[in-house]
Homo-oligomer: A and B are copies of this chain.
Amino acid sequence: MAEEALFTSQQLCEYVTDLFRDRLPFNRLLGLQISQFDGEGVEVRLPWDDKLMGNPIQKILHGGVTASVLDTVGGLMAILHVVRDLREVSLEDFHRKLSKIGTIDMRIDYLRPGKGSEFIATASVIRKGSRVAVCRMELHNQDGEHIAFGTGTYMVG
């Protein structure tokens, strides 16, 4: 793609999805998949893998895996918050915007042991700002059991 080309919101969503899948080593290591990233919202999925265990006796997710998934889905939501407002933008300008996005702080509430065959994370924006956005995130397993809540404050501009 020529850097000079202008992208719509929808094209940027596809671009971010590709970037996330191909270019983020730690997400690949975890096995994280973006199952949704469009105008409607964000969803990330994580299939169970023994390597993600934090407690071999109880066979549950490491608390850091839960935090990683929640930070990822919250960060994607923050990116979506920015993308939604863009009409036509060059890739160069979008990269500049992306480079400003980062987590300032995050709280995780661990509600239940992380048991399941697949985990599904979603997010919404609770404070919409041009410089800072705050997101709430949730992690459920395949049976709808609520594993954890997250709250993240993200720099967005």
Chain A interface residues toward B at CB < 8 A: 23-27, 29-30, 50-58, 62-65, 67-69, 71-72, 75, 95, 99, 102-111, 113, 126-127, 131-132, 134, 136, 146, 149, 151, 153, 155
A119 to chain B, nearest CB (A): 13
Q: Which secondary structure dominates chain A's binding surface?
A: mixed
Asked if A132 and B110 make an inter-chain contact with CB atoms under 8 angstroms apart, the answer reads no
7 other contacts beyond A23-B56, A107-B151, A153-B153, with CB at 8 A cut-off? A25-B50, A26-B65, A57-B95, A63-B106, A64-B72, A67-B67, A109-B126
Give this chain's copy count: 4
A123 to chain B, nearest CB (A): 14
Asked if B134 and A131 make an inter-chain contact with CB atoms under 8 angstroms apart, the answer reads no
